[in-house]
Amino acid sequence: MPQPGDRHPGFVAQPGECWALVNSKQLQATHCREEPTYTGRWYSPRDDGRYWRVWSCPDHLEGLTGIREFGATGTSKFLPPNHMPSSGTSGRDRYQT
Ligand SMILES: [Zn+2]
């Protein structure tokens, strides 16, 4: 039996809206009302390579790939600090002693 608050088998791909649908008290599909702070990709379960970019609150990240947090300026958890392209790998400009 579906319960209020259960995840509904569906989603929305709408900027600023959590992608999850949940059952309302009347057991009808309704938006998750949490504020989304992540974006990610939801790949089609048919495995045909299609995907949708969706927005998600922290509770509904399961099943998404390529998850990125946004809104938290300067506190990215997904890139190490000093993530700079390496330089000087050609060796041509290296000085010999
Ligand atoms: Zn949500």
Q: Give 32 Cα–ligand 1 centroid separation in angstroms.
A: 5
Extents of the domains making up the chain? 7-69
Mean pLDDT score across all residues of the chain: 80
Q: Give 50 Cα–ligand 1 centroid separation in angstroms.
A: 22
Q: Give 21 Cα–ligand 1 centroid separation in angstroms.
A: 8
pLDDT of residue 35: 92
pLDDT of residue 68: 95
Indicate the pLDDT class of residue 93, thresholds 50, 70 and 90: low
Which residues, 6+ apart, have CB-to-CB distance to 78 below 8 Å? 68, 69
Q: Give 43 Cα–ligand 1 centroid separation in angstroms.
A: 17
Indicate the pLDDT class of residue 28, thresholds 50, 70 and 90: confident
18 contacts 36 by C-beta, under 8 angstroms? yes
For the stretch 50-80, pLDDT in tens is: 999 999 999 999 999 999 998 655 444 554 4
